């Protein structure tokens, strides 16, 4: 089963993403910020990471950088959830090793359609 780590400081968005993924048959683990996400990533393997950018404690970009340092996350797809569709943000994400980005707002259908580009 495809296992996804969902990192967002907003309960509602996290719940929504997680619920959507679960109802499409994915397995999910939730984390409330980058720090939390990183520690969960260290003890689990994931097939995909979906993370918000702006979060307290550790933001999504730093999380991405940290994850890429872990052997088990070297090739794992990491998608950033972002409201900033500016190219600057994309470049920052890319240079931190992010696979791609999902621009908020998005709906469940779009979420599922999009992640098919990186996982089964």
Partner 1 sequence: MSVDLSQFIPSFLEESFEGLALMESGLLDLKRGDNETIHSIFRAAHSIKGGAGTFGFDNVTEFTHLVETLLDEMRDGRREVTSKDTEILLDAVDCMRLLIEAARDNQDYDHDKVAKTSSRLSETLGDEQSTDSENESNSNIEKKDACGYNIKFIPEHSLAKTGNDPIFLFSALAELGELTICANTEELPALMDIDAQELYLSWQLTLITDVEEAEVIEIFEWVEDECLLTLEPITNTSDDEFTQNLSEGVNSIISEPSVQPQLPSKAANQISLASTKVEHEPDAVIEEKSKAAKGKVKADLGSIRVGVDKVDSLINLVGELVITQSMLSELGNDFDMTKVERLTNGLEQLLQNTKELQESVMRIRMLPISFAFNRFPRLVHDLAIKTGKTMELVINGEQTELDKTVMEQIGDPLVHLVRNAADHGIESKEIRLANGKPEKGTISLDAYHQGGNIVIEIKDDGAGINRTSVLDKAIDKGLIDANATLTDSQVYDLLFEPGFSTAAEVTDISGRGVGMDVVKRNIQALGGRIQVESTLGKGSTFKVNLPLTLAILDGQLVKVGTETYIIPLISIVESLQIDNNLINRVSGDMVLYRLRDDNVPVLPIYQLFNLETECTEIDKALLVVVEADGQKVGLMVDDLLAQQQVVIKSLNDNYQQVAGISGATILGDGSVAMILDIPGMINMALEQAQRAQRVKTDGNSSVAAELCL
Residues with Cβ within 8 Å of residue 12, at least 6 apart in sequence: none
Cβ–Cβ under 8 Å, residues 47 and 119 = yes
Which residue in 26, 31, 50, 99 binds partner 1 (CB under 8 A)? 99
- For strands 48-52 and 3-7, give the pairing: parallel
Cβ–Cβ under 8 Å, residues 78 and 64 = yes
* Residue indicated by tokens 């580009």: 117
Q: Site mask, partner 1, residues 58-97, x = CB under 8 A? A: ----------x-----xxxxx--x-x-xx----x--x--x
The smaller minimum CB distance to partner 1, of residues 45 and 91, is found at 91
Q: Which residues bind partner 1 (CB under 8 A)?
A: 9-13, 15-16, 19-20, 23-24, 52, 54-56, 68, 74-78, 81, 83, 85-86, 91, 94, 97-101, 104-109, 112, 116-120
């Amino acid at each position: 089963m495809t296992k996804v780590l969902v990192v967002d400081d907003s309960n509602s968005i996290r719940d929504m993403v997680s619920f959507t993924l679960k109802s499409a048959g994915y397995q999910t683990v939730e984390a409330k910020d980058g720090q939390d996400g990183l520690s969960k990533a260290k003890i689990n393997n994931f097939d995909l990471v979906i993370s918000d950018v702006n979060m307290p404690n550790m933001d999504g970009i730093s999380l991405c950088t940290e994850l890429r340092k872990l052997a088990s996350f070297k090739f794992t797809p990491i998608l950033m959830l972002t409201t900033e569709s500016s190219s600057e943000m994309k470049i920052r994400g890319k240079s931190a090793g992010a696979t791609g980005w999902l621009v908020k707002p998005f709906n469940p259908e779009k979420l599922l359609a999009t992640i098919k580009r990186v996982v089964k």
